[in-house]
Amino acid sequence: MRALIGIASLLVVLAIVGVLAKKQLAATQAPAPALQAPGPAAPTGTVREQSQQIQQQVQQQMEGLMQKSRPLPDDESK
């Protein structure tokens, strides 16, 4: 009798976990395309061309960030 109750409870828990997993997977798959922000066009061409395009984009972004001036801190610690 104890074994039967144990097996039945395990089956109930397994069913609950299965339902929750199914809901979680359905929730993560459906809204993903809607959340993507419109950005630059996806790289096209071969893998090598895509890699070079990404490297160029990163390099341009870094150069742009390096050109920006930062405000100097005040020397009031004296």
| pLDDT tens digits along 40-62 | 566 577 899 999 999 999 999 99
Tokens describing residue 67: 């050109």
What is this structure's pTM?
0.37
The answer to whether 43 and 49 are in contact (CB under 8 A) is yes
Domain hosting residue 10, numbered range: 1-30
Q: How many domains does the chain have?
A: 1
Asked if residue 63 has pLDDT above 60, the reply is yes
**Which pLDDT score is estimated for 35?**
45
| Any domain includes 48 | no
| Any domain includes 59 | no
Tokens describing residue 52: 């070079």
| Any domain includes 21 | yes
| Any domain includes 4 | yes
Calculate mean pLDDT across residues 16-22: 94
